[in-house]
Amino acid sequence: MDSGSTRLILQLGTNNWQHGDEFAPGSGILHEAHHHAYNRLPKTASFSIFPSPTQLSERSDVAVFRLDHDIPICESISPVSSYRWHAMSENDFAAYRHRLTEFVAAYMEGIERQRGESFGLAIAHHAFLNPVVLRNVLRLRAQQGKARMPLLCFVHGTALKMYAKEMSGAEPDDFPVRFLPFMRSEGVFDPSRPDGVDVCAAISNQQIDALGDVFPEFPRNRVLLSPNGYNQDVFHVAREPRDLYRDRNEVLAEFTTRPHEGSSRRADPVATDGGFDDVVVFCGKFADWKRLDVLLRAAAIYENAGRKVATVIVGSGPLEEQKRMQDLAFNELGLRYAYFVGPKPQPELAVLYNTADVGCFPSHKEPFGLVFIECMACGTPVIGANSGGPRDFVRSSVGTLVDETDDEAALARSLADAVTTALTEGWKKTKGQTAAAYAASEFSVRQQCADLLAGVDRLMARAEAKPTTSRTP
């Protein structure tokens, strides 16, 4: 890039940004955070596109790709959709791909005409349709005589999970072999093709390995490790005790439970019964691999360990999953202090993290684990399973990871033991400040974006032509 020019970046997202009552999944939050972070970097301007059936945008730097159906998702449910790509017909999928390609190309052309500058980097979020669409847009631009720009694919977990499900054949009705052959035929990760993805970025070493399992032809030396950054403007230790509340019970009383549709349970404030000795917080979508059910079984153990411990559950899912989790908590386990509060916007989530004594997120093969970082940034230690992305950054000074196992009863006991230890040893006081400082120094989203751009520049400068060597198993 010319040192005197502005680098224009086009980011194509696969999920909505958070707006009003339309909550965003992690990849939508990451995309939005990156957009703002790039625009704070010198001589850098980000322009973004994301899909939504409800949102509009009046900003010149953001365009909404409007849908007449829910946002298609790769593998597990999101806060706003349970409509999988596999449910889309071939004709509808082809029409979606064509319409999105034309939309992106027209938006980029309009921005370039308005600014009198050319885009210098295209970023596709998720390793599925977006890199195909951006590759096709770059082909259209080449036909118009425009110079080619680098194509970066930011790899997120659910696309790779979708391919893994197709490869396993374990769920043929929900995940028939369809999109992995499509992606291989498109060849966007094939280094022998002249116009595919130049660089991939992954949020954890686990994701780098997962990318290699699905697309072993993509060179490992062109994959950047880019640990998730968090929004420091939102997630930080409360500047005033309890953010101007007198005590924790008043904070919790501001949050109301959300029983599932058709439930006989009432929507009540969380703190209605005299307060708690300790608070554990969970945040995540109700997907099997998040293992909320295991945490609930752990809560049945630590609720009876001599302290009054509340478990506050942030997140949601399809009605059947809401019902299954709440039936497990209240009907099967008889939990007295479990509170399902539904999805929450980031500022409210930050209040809950500040209020809690420990965050517990026992996911299996979590792609990264941004909730860990956001919780730590609020001065609250974390507990998870020794699986996936959290292995890269959870240290004993900020929390712990319990041994991974397929035995859910054993995992529940391990989580209960870890929670009880955290509460009785007062980790909030002994590890909380270290956790906040560690998050601030290592995981700001602005630093993540600056490092990512530097990595792209380094790899593109290293080889004018794409390497032809593939990843060795």
pLDDT category, 274, cuts 50, 70, 90? confident
User: What global pTM score does this model have?
Assistant: 0.71
Paired tokens of 406: 């397929």
pLDDT category, 241, cuts 50, 70, 90? very low
pLDDT category, 325, cuts 50, 70, 90? very high
CA distance 385 to 364: 7
The answer to whether 63 touches 57, Cβ cutoff 8 Å, is yes
Helix (H) or strand (E) holding 185: helix 179-186
CA distance 396 to 173: 42
The CATH label, of 3.40.50.300, 3.30.200.20, 3.40.50.2000, 1.10.150.530, for the domain at 241-442 is 3.40.50.2000
The answer to whether 270 touches 310, Cβ cutoff 8 Å, is yes
Count of Cβ atoms closer than 10 Å to residue 5 Cβ:
11
The answer to whether 339 touches 313, Cβ cutoff 8 Å, is yes
The CATH label, of 1.10.150.130, 3.40.50.2000, 3.40.630.10, 3.30.300.100, for the domain at 7-229+445-462 is 3.40.50.2000
pLDDT, mean over the chain = 90
The answer to whether 253 touches 272, Cβ cutoff 8 Å, is yes
Which residues have C-beta within 8 Å of that of residue 283, sequence separation ≥ 6?
314, 315, 349, 352, 359, 361, 371, 375
CA distance 374 to 351: 11
- Going by their DSSP bridges, the two strands 338-342 and 44-52 should be labelled as unpaired
Which comes out higher in pLDDT, residue 196 or 472?
196
- Going by their DSSP bridges, the two strands 338-342 and 309-314 should be labelled as parallel
Which strands form 399-402's sheet, in the order they lie side by side? 338-342, 309-314, 278-283, 358-361, 382-385, 399-402
Residue 442 reports pLDDT greater than 80: yes
Domain with CATH 3.40.50.2000 in the chain: 7-229+445-462, 241-442
